[in-house]
Amino acid sequence: MVNEKTYIMLKPDAVKRRLIGEIVSRIEKKGYQITQAKLMTLDKKVIAEHYAHLLHKPFYPNLEAYMTSGPVFGMVVEGENVIAGMRQLMGPTNVYEALPGTIRGDYANNTTENIIHGSDCKEAATIEIKRFFG
């Protein structure tokens, strides 16, 4: 039993499409606990930090425009093995590989606008929780 924390972020289209409640409900039904949450509007600087591994990619300008297009809903989510568990619940990055039943599989049809972020490892979770919650 490893109790972990992860950083989950509902991206701007999730907020615009009024899907916060529905997605939060799926996370809670899985048995995870939301221990911090807030709406925030991100600037280009914090997006460049958060997606530093993608700055050189051809799709980065689209990703930056998308992530700064409206408020996001950031959360700290806690539970046993929650980092991997949330990645499984979210579905893969490539939205065409995200099966129905996953959050991306059910709500997204575009790989850039893929509705939800979740930390991919313990180190990233620690850094991202600090970045967005201080």
Residues marked active site are found at 117
Q: Is 114 annotated as a binding residue?
A: yes
Q: How far apart are CA 103 and CA 92, in angstroms?
A: 10
Among 12, 89, 117, 129, binds ligand DAT (CB under 6 A): 117
Q: What letter would DSSP give residue 52?
A: G
- The residue count for binding Mg ion (CB under 5 A) is 1
Task: Give the sign of the dihedral formed by CA 104, CA 130, CA 124, CA 61.
Answer: positive
63 touches ligand DAT (CB under 6 A): yes
> For ligand DAT, which stretch binds (CB under 6 A), given 23-31, 36-44, 72-80, 113-121?
113-121
Q: Is 11 annotated as a binding residue?
A: yes
Binding-site sequence positions for ATP: 11, 59, 87, 93, 104, 114
